[in-house]
Amino acid sequence: MRDQLEALQELAKIDRGFRQFDAELEELRGRLEELRADVSRIRELLDREKGQLDEVERLRGQAVVEATDLGERITRSTGRANVARNTRERDAATREVEVLRKEREERQQRAGDLEKGVGDVRDSIARHEEDFKKLAEALESEEKHVSTRTAEIAVLREEIERARADVTKKVRADILRKYEGIRSRKGTAVAEAIDGVCRGCNVSLPPQFYAKLMAPLDVMQCPSCLRILLARPAGAGAVTS
């Protein structure tokens, strides 16, 4: 029984290594996803800002055209005032010129405000383009790292897979089936029993059961979590029995 339990312990160690690889890859992929999401968020923001810039520029152009039109109308009305045949006509033309001048002033003011708006949006775009560049670089280097590490892990896995095959040869077929069954349900198939407690589920084991576990005649499973138990007397190091 001792050699069987030793082989199971070795198997559990190998499987723990596999789980660590899985966790590492999952974490790396998660980070990559986050970076990709950041990059696409900032790309969308830039698209929105560029649309905004087009709109502000269009409005500014419109205000400039309107101010120019008003200038032409002012010239025409001024001309009319100069050739007015009587005071009434001249006063009317002069009033028109005043109204038009006010309107032009308003359009020029608006064009100036929009010009400032254009500058602000451009600044913001420049800042976000800088952020985008940095993030895209970070993403690229992270992608390289993940692909390198994924390849490394694939190689390591193959090696460990071979070692695992050797270990499984040492385990009795019925015990191996039991081990794999528990592992597929629980993630881990083996638990240490220390000071009368199963460390897989932290449930206290019945004293007689625990006593038997110290020199087991067969594989013993935790009555609570059903993991295969490896006894470790209090104060001892890792299980060697």
Binding site residues, Zn ion, CB under 5 A: 198, 200-201, 222, 224-225
Residue whose token pair is 């010239």:
75
Q: Which amino acid is at 26?
A: E
Residue 231 parent element (H or E): strand 228-232
Min separation Cβ 200 and Zn ion, Å: 4
Min separation Cβ 197 and Zn ion, Å: 9
- Kindly state the tokens that stand for 136: 């895209």
Min separation Cβ 180 and Zn ion, Å: 18
Min separation Cβ 228 and Zn ion, Å: 10
Give the C-alpha distances (Å, rounded to integers) separating 93 from 64, 66, 73, 98, 169.
Answer: 24, 20, 11, 9, 109
Min separation Cβ 210 and Zn ion, Å: 12
Helices (H), the chain: 2-82, 87-170, 173-186, 207-214
Nearest-10 crossing angle of helices 2-82, 87-170: 170
Q: How far apart are CA 197 and CA 13, in angstroms?
A: 20
Contact residues for 155 (Cβ-Cβ < 8 A; gap 6+):
none
